[in-house]
């Protein structure tokens, strides 16, 4: 039975524990071979196609995609365990993250047979990468106010507008764009929205890299200059974009990346002379991990735990930022080699509470779903 608002947590089986140890052993071998250096927020900031291919070779991409679509037919809980270990190990995950986390399950739910055959085997093989085309310069978490337009054309649609904060668009192959295909109805702002699969290499698409304060480059502005999208690349149903986006955001908001983005830093802090300062954060990680694991179990049952996912996202990103703040305060004396990781965590912290929906917007969503507003 559910516990309050949250799906009941599931016990970890022996099979899941064995899988967890397999991933840990793999990561240890990769670190010893110099394949990667553990870092924070790696699902957003560390794009490494070679590492992604190694994960594909292990069968750890497209895990929940059915075998008939080129995946591995594993459970959400198996994928959850693999994802937890990769995040906790600070591995570079950005090259496949969006495609594996939310695009693949969205294709399974809303995609046509042609789209499933085209993209799902390539996602599982690490051969195609995706971005998310939701936010706009004047439409962040308020997606109902998007101004990107889709206009009917012969054999398809012309898409015009600008998306922003599109992670990895300068590397990615495709992204799924939310556009308005009908005039805004002020009595139902969520109506008239649709989604399209857009080729980021199309000449009518301009990708402008946004350089962060620390010099890193993972965000982008994407300008759609009346780019043509054929009918077979309409995603889902025209006019059903809001329902589809809401479903997609359940995957984006509930995963362990909303809890473990700064876990490598927490782990180092717990091994430092300042261990006591980090212990409360460890307790919060354990609690939020239980919540997130329960949501993964609910998704496996075909449920859509939107409210629980939003709550985990709000609490989890607050925790990630607090870990960074604690590490910055104590500066891990005796662990000076980690100061660059601390600095990176502090710089990333403002983004924790923005991506996937700002805390303020999510607070409103949670209140409305609980009947409080």
Catalytic residue set: 252
**Helix or strand or coil: residue 289?**
helix
Residue 27's DSSP bridge partners are none
CA–CA gap between residue 160 and residue 170 (Å, rounded) = 19
The SS3 assignment for 9 reads coil
Q: Which residue has the tokens 């055959």?
A: 117
Label residues 73-102 b or e (16+ Cβ within 10 Å = b).
ebbbbbbbbbbbbbbbbbbbbbbbbbbbbb
On whether the CB atoms of residues 52 and 126 are closer than 8 A, the answer is yes
Please compute Rg for the chain using Cα positions: 20
- Distance (Å, rounded) from C-alpha 122 to C-alpha 131? 15
For every residue of 117-163, DSSP letters joined together read HHHHHHHHTT---EEEE--BTTBSS-GGG---EEEEETTEEEEEEEE
* Structural contact between residues 49 and 95, judged by C-beta atoms closer than 8 angstroms: yes
* Distance (Å) of CA 195 to CA 106, 150, 170, 271: 11, 9, 20, 47
């Amino acid at each position: 039975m559910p516990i309050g608002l949250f799906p009941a947590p599931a016990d970890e089986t022996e099979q899941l524990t064995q899988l967890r140890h397999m991933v840990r052993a793999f990561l240890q071998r990769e670190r010893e071979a110099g394949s990667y250096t553990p870092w924070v927020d790696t699902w957003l900031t560390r794009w490494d196609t070679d590492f992604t291919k190694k994960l594909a070779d292990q069968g750890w991409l497209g895990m929940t995609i059915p075998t008939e679509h080129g995946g591995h037919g594993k459970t959400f809980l198996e994928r959850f365990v693999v994802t937890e270990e990769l995040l906790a190990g600070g591995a570079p995950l950005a090259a496949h993250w969006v495609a594996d986390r939310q695009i693949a399950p969205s294709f399974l739910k809303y995609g046509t047979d042609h789209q499933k055959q085209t993209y799902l085997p390539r996602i599982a093989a690490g051969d195609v990468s995706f971005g998310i085309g939701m936010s706009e310069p004047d439409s962040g978490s308020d997606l109902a106010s998007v101004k990107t337009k889709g206009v009917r054309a012969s054999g398809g649609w012309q898409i015009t507008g600008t998306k922003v904060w599109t992670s990895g668009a300068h590397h990615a192959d495709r992204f799924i764009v939310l556009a308005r295909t009908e005039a805004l109805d002020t009595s139902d702002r969520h109506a008239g929205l649709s989604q399209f699969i857009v080729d980021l290499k199309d000449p009518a698409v301009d990708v402008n890299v946004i350089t962060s304060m620390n010099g890193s480059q993972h965000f982008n502005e994407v300008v759609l200059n009346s780019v043509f999208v054929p009918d077979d690349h309409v995603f889902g149903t025209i006019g059903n974009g809001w329902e589809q986006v809401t479903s997609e955001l359940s995957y984006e908001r509930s995963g362990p990346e909303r809890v473990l983005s700064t876990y490598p830093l927490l782990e180092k802090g717990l091994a430092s002379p300042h261990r006591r300062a980090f212990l409360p954060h460890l307790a919060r990680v354990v609690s939020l991990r239980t919540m997130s694991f329960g949501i993964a179990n609910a998704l496996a049952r075909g449920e859509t735990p939107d409210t629980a996912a939003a709550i985990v996202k709000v609490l989890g990103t607050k925790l990630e930022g607090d870990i960074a703040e604690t590490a910055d305060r104590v500066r891990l004396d005796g662990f000076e080699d980690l100061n660059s990781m601390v600095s990176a965590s502090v710089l990333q912290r403002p983004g924790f509470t923005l991506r996937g929906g700002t805390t303020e917007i999510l607070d409103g969503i949670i209140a409305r779903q609980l009947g409080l507003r």
